Amino acid sequence: MRSFLILNGPNLNLLGTRQPEVYGHTTLADIETMCRSHADVIGVSVDFAQSNHEGVMIDTLHAARGAKDGVILNAGAYTHTSIAIMDAIRSIELPVVELHLSNIHARESYRHTSYVAPVAVGQICGFGPRGYVLAMDALLGHLEAVG
């Protein structure tokens, strides 16, 4: 069975109450439930994690190396700033799907830059919580395509 890490970055623990006009009313716990039930449907296992700390996120990515088949990463605002997370993604040699609830390209210009994008298989953004399910399908499809 393939094993995915779904890693969420800073402020995503506040989903549901944080700027609902941008991010909606779904909580991160709701998203985890959605991911776990979709994992059952597509036959993969998932670890679901969140941290507000860049170094903890990097440690979590390192721990996935050799232990997971791929990563779905919503790095939150670190997406736009963190060369360290970009380097970690390069180091772990795992396919990473970049994910955002909002369409970062339709928002402030400082959100248009992603340090994750150059080292990701691809990016899903703008579909709200459903993006996590889309990302799981995309990651599984990628793994099946590359064998």
| List of residues contacting ligand DQA (CB under 6 A) | 11, 74, 76-77, 79, 100-102, 104, 111
Please, what is the minimum distance in Å from the beta carbon of residue 43 to ligand DQA?
26
Please, what is the minimum distance in Å from the beta carbon of residue 139 to ligand DQA?
17
Residue 23 near residue 15 (C-beta atoms within 8 A): yes
Residue 28 near residue 8 (C-beta atoms within 8 A): yes
C-alpha–C-alpha distance, residues 5 and 8, integer Å: 10
- Annotated catalytic, 115? no
- Annotated catalytic, 100? yes
**Tokens encoding 94:** 């795992």
Kindly write down the DSSP assignment for every residue of 134-146, as one continuous string.
HHHHHHHHHHHHH
Q: Which is nearer to ligand DQA, 68 or 100 (CB)?
A: 100
Q: Which is nearer to ligand DQA, 10 or 143 (CB)?
A: 10
Q: Which is nearer to ligand DQA, 87 or 126 (CB)?
A: 126
Q: Which of 78, 100, 115, 132 is catalytic?
A: 100
C-alpha–C-alpha distance, residues 40 and 50, integer Å: 21
C-alpha–C-alpha distance, residues 12 and 23, integer Å: 10
Q: Which of 23, 78, 115, 132 is catalytic?
A: 23
Q: Which residues are catalytic?
A: 23, 100
